[in-house]
Chains A and B, each alone.
Chain A
Amino acid sequence: MKRKIARLAVETVAVLLALAIFGVPISYVLTNAGKSSAAAAQMSIAPAANTQYLANFSSVIAQSSYMLIRAFLNSAIITIVSIAVLLGISSTAGFVLERRKGRGISWINFLVLAGLMIPPAVVPTIWVLKTIGLYKNMMGLVLVEAALAFPFSVLLYRGYMGSIPRELDEASFIDGCTGFDLFMKVIFPLMKPVSATIAIITSISVFNDFVNPLYFLPGSKNVTVQLTLYNFISTYLNKWNLLFADILLISIPPLIFFIFFNKKIVSGMVAGAVKS
């Protein structure tokens, strides 16, 4: 009995602490996003006397001639195309990396693993993009995002390939499959669970990415949601209500993903971290 009470006490304290440390900042944003600028300037967590969420949201959306809408569109395109490119390049590479052995393969493995650690070189990448005419171009950013996410995804694919029996490959070969058929008709469909995990993780990280759009996609024509949020810091100097309203709007897509795919996100992250 005594033990039970002690446990309950510990658990209550833990929940209260978590609410204070992680809950309060979130509810601070939630309440202040609905206040007037003057009320939000108080920086208090107290609920507003009268809320004006709709007015705040619409003024954020209308800001700088509806920049946020274009940003949402751009971010969606960049995210979706990056995922498509990433899945294409890393599934094929992971497939062969797991199935073949030899010195060449070890070298490729080394180069891939190095990509997990080495910080990307900023200006040389800009120079490459400029040289091939993709600087300040969404496709250029997509290719950079795919290249940077490549090592991690290859590791996930390679790990999963290990669980697909080679007998399948041999059977398909006897049935007259070429390597390409084998990959397209047998292997890639079987790797759907990893593909889904990678797609989900990448969608959140690319959508939330600030650094790469800042480097490789400057200019107001190409804004992404994180860049607008960053630009609004100076536009909305001390108008915390509007900044927070913007934060709420652009956090909706990752939040939806988190609610639906919580387990997949966690399992993918852990698999990648533990296997590397």
Chain B
Amino acid sequence: MPSLTSRLYSYKFFIPAAIVYVLFFLAPTFLSFFFSLTIWTLSDWKFTGLDNFKIFLTEPSLNIGLRNSLVYATATCALKVVIGFLLAAFLCTDLKTKGFLRSMIYFPNILSTIAVGIIFGSLMHPSHGLINTCLAAIGIKGPDWLGNPRMALFSVVLVDVWKGVGIAMTIFIAGIQAIPQHYYEALMIDGGTAFHKLRYITLPLSRSSMNSVIMLAFIGGIRSFDLIWVMTKGGPGFTSDLIASIIYKQLQGGFYGISTAGNVVLFVIVSIIAVPMYRFLTKVEVDL
């Protein structure tokens, strides 16, 4: 007689999930390794070895995406972690407007990325956008946020942080609220200051939420496509192209092999950066 386990928890329960997940996620992922080595028309393919990767990594208009994606992911991730943490620490103190501030900061998350891109495209207009009008009022000549090749990527980073910092904050708040109060009381008795509390209790003990935020923000940033697409289309020129926007441009151009090679590059980056990063981050975690 089969055991209780295999009778009640049959593997048959996996069938629906397996069909959907394998067909629309796992299979395409495995196929991408093969098709990235071909010239591909979707109906027909010709094997070309590593040519697509060579093109991807040597063509200046393509390999700029690699650098930009790393910069973009690192910058958005760092800003979200630092700002999110400070906001959370502040909003876990005794404030009357706590609820209002939290909702306010979280709110941009329910807007679609396209909407946010359009709104900031207007606010960042070089001559009469609201941001530069305000800067002019205090005597600063605002930059051409999205038109200046050196600024464009950075401007989109700021918008991404504006939209996403609420999630980071929310995760940090959950972590901070889980810290037992008696740690703080002990520090008070020893005469610690507010800075000591933050530095020696809140920061180390919210480590696990920090790990989540770092992973989420970094992986989100490295795959990011929609915000840059609606705000700059990778321009001016190719200066703000990300890997994901190049994947889409190659797809539009019908270069399916190169587009897929871009996907594989993304996969490799995630594996060689994110996976060891996750291991490292979870190692330094402290138990409460």
The answer to the question of B280 belonging to the interface, with a C-beta cut-off of 8 Å to chain A, is no
The answer to the question of A43 belonging to the interface, with a C-beta cut-off of 8 Å to chain B, is yes
The answer to the question of A60 belonging to the interface, with a C-beta cut-off of 8 Å to chain B, is no
Q: Tell me the complex Cα distance, A127–B31, Å.
A: 10
**Contact A92 B167, CB 8 Å, known A18-B105, A22-B105, A144-B24:** no
Chain B residues contacting A104 (CB-CB under 8 Å) are 11
CB distance from B48 to the nearest CB of A (A): 15
Q: Which of B42, B110, B171 contacts A273 (CB 8 A)?
A: B171
- A residues touching B (Cβ–Cβ < 8 Å)? 11, 14-15, 18-19, 21-26, 28-29, 42-45, 85, 88-90, 92-93, 95-96, 99-100, 104, 108, 111-112, 115-130, 132, 143-144, 146-148, 150, 154, 169-170, 173, 178-179, 182-183, 204, 207-208, 210-211, 214-215, 226, 229-230, 233, 240, 243-244, 247, 250-251, 254-255, 257-258, 262, 266, 269-270, 273-274, 276
Q: Tell me the complex Cα distance, A24–B282, Å.
A: 39
**Contact A182 B123, CB 8 Å, known A11-B96, A89-B16, A90-B17:** no
**Contact A117 B263, CB 8 Å, known A26-B107, A266-B170, A273-B209:** no
A210 adjacent to B226 (CB under 8 Å): yes
CB distance from A27 to the nearest CB of B (A): 11
The answer to the question of B82 belonging to the interface, with a C-beta cut-off of 8 Å to chain A, is no
For the complex of A and B, the 6 pairs showing the least CB-CB separation, nearest first, are A124-B28, A121-B32, A147-B24, A208-B112, A89-B17, A93-B17
The answer to the question of B260 belonging to the interface, with a C-beta cut-off of 8 Å to chain A, is yes
Chain B residues contacting A254 (CB-CB under 8 Å) are 110-112
Q: Tell me the complex Cα distance, A249–B118, Å.
A: 14
A251 adjacent to B5 (CB under 8 Å): no
Q: Mark B130-156, 1 if CB is under 8 A from A, else 0.
A: 100100000000000000000000000
Query: Can you list 26 A-B pairs with a CB-CB distance of less than 8 A?
Result: A11-B97, A18-B105, A28-B122, A43-B122, A44-B130, A96-B14, A99-B9, A100-B5, A117-B219, A124-B31, A125-B24, A128-B28, A147-B23, A150-B21, A179-B7, A179-B9, A179-B10, A179-B12, A211-B226, A229-B115, A250-B115, A257-B110, A258-B110, A269-B170, A273-B213, A274-B212
Q: Name A130's closest neighbour in chain B (CB-CB).
A: B42
Q: Tell me the complex Cα distance, A115–B25, Å.
A: 8
Chain A residues contacting B32 (CB-CB under 8 Å) are 121, 123-124
Q: Tell me the complex Cα distance, A127–B226, Å.
A: 22
Q: Tell me the complex Cα distance, A241–B209, Å.
A: 41
Chain B residues contacting A112 (CB-CB under 8 Å) are 21
Chain B residues contacting A117 (CB-CB under 8 Å) are 215, 219, 270, 274-275
Q: Tell me the complex Cα distance, A128–B62, Å.
A: 26
Q: Name A132's closest neighbour in chain B (CB-CB).
A: B23
Tell me how many residue pairs across A and B have CB atoms closer than 8 Å. Answer: 242
CB distance from A268 to the nearest CB of B (A): 11
A14 adjacent to B256 (CB under 8 Å): no
Q: Looking at chain A's contact residues, is the secondary structure mostly helix, strand, loop, or mixed?
A: helix
Q: Tell me the complex Cα distance, A179–B90, Å.
A: 49
Q: Which of A18, A183, A250, A258 contacts B104 (CB 8 A)?
A: A18
Q: Tell me the complex Cα distance, A183–B10, Å.
A: 11
Q: Tell me the complex Cα distance, A23–B162, Å.
A: 12
B20 adjacent to A150 (CB under 8 Å): yes
Q: Tell me the complex Cα distance, A247–B118, Å.
A: 9
Chain B residues contacting A182 (CB-CB under 8 Å) are 8
The answer to the question of B74 belonging to the interface, with a C-beta cut-off of 8 Å to chain A, is no
Q: Tell me the complex Cα distance, A144–B226, Å.
A: 17
Q: Which of B104, B208, B213, B251 contacts A122 (CB 8 A)?
A: B251
Q: Tell me the complex Cα distance, A228–B230, Å.
A: 13
B40 adjacent to A123 (CB under 8 Å): yes
Q: Which of A45, A120, A247, A273 contacts B119 (CB 8 A)?
A: A247
B104 adjacent to A124 (CB under 8 Å): no
Chain B residues contacting A273 (CB-CB under 8 Å) are 171, 209, 212-213, 216
A179 adjacent to B28 (CB under 8 Å): no
Chain A residues contacting B16 (CB-CB under 8 Å) are 88-89, 92
CB distance from A133 to the nearest CB of B (A): 13
The answer to the question of B247 belonging to the interface, with a C-beta cut-off of 8 Å to chain A, is yes
Known contacts A44-B133, A179-B12, A208-B112; 19 further A-B pairs (Cβ under 8 A): A11-B96, A89-B20, A93-B14, A95-B9, A96-B10, A100-B5, A108-B14, A115-B21, A117-B219, A117-B270, A119-B222, A122-B247, A126-B251, A146-B24, A150-B21, A179-B7, A179-B10, A215-B248, A273-B212
Chain A residues contacting B195 (CB-CB under 8 Å) are none
Q: Which of B13, B129, B247 contacts A93 (CB 8 A)?
A: B13
Q: Name B174's closest neighbour in chain A (CB-CB).
A: A270
B129 adjacent to A43 (CB under 8 Å): yes
Chain B residues contacting A42 (CB-CB under 8 Å) are 128
CB distance from B55 to the nearest CB of A (A): 15
B17 adjacent to A92 (CB under 8 Å): yes
CB distance from B259 to the nearest CB of A (A): 5
Q: Name B178's closest neighbour in chain A (CB-CB).
A: A274
CB distance from B109 to the nearest CB of A (A): 8
